[in-house]
Amino acid sequence: MRILIINGPNLNLLGRREPGIYGTQTFEAYLGTLRQKYPDVVIDYFQSNHEGDIIDRIHEAGFGADICDGIILNAGAYTHTSIAIHDAIKAVPIPTIEVHISNVHTREEFRHHSFISPVAHGIVIGFGIDGYRLALEGLLKMLAR
């Protein structure tokens, strides 16, 4: 099984960015523990602050040289703005799970709408950084069905 985690803009700053909201752990450290916990799963990781690069990576995971079984996506602020990422998720024949570290629904109103949710196969919101593990477990179960 090969799963791709994609983090969008500003998520390269995890551990340093607004720690009261996003925690103090870097994603790289967290990813290490996740890979140790799931040694049989290949977990690819891609972070970008650029919308088009995220779209290209989704295409590669779905059709290209870097084919994966599923995607775990935290599109960051693009969640609330990007019809293009919505279309990319819809275009590929593999499931995407949407993740948000914070509970976006208890925050500013502009975070309440997601362009990703209508095309996501599952959504994990508000469990902190551990939401990626919850998403992975759900995605693996979904793929085993």
Q: Which chain residues interact with ligand DQA by CB under 6 A?
A: 10, 74, 76-77, 79, 100-102, 104, 111
CA distance 80 to 42: 29
Give the nearer residue to ligand DQA in terms of CB position, either 10 or 25.
Answer: 10
Active-site annotation holds for 22: yes
CA distance 101 to 23: 9
| Active-site choice (30, 78, 100, 132) | 100
Give the nearer residue to ligand DQA in terms of CB position, either 33 or 106.
Answer: 106
CA distance 120 to 38: 23
> How many other C-beta atoms can be found within 10 angstroms of the C-beta atom of residue 145?
4
Active-site annotation holds for 59: no
Give the nearer residue to ligand DQA in terms of CB position, either 67 or 104.
Answer: 104
Annotated catalytic sites, by residue? 22, 100
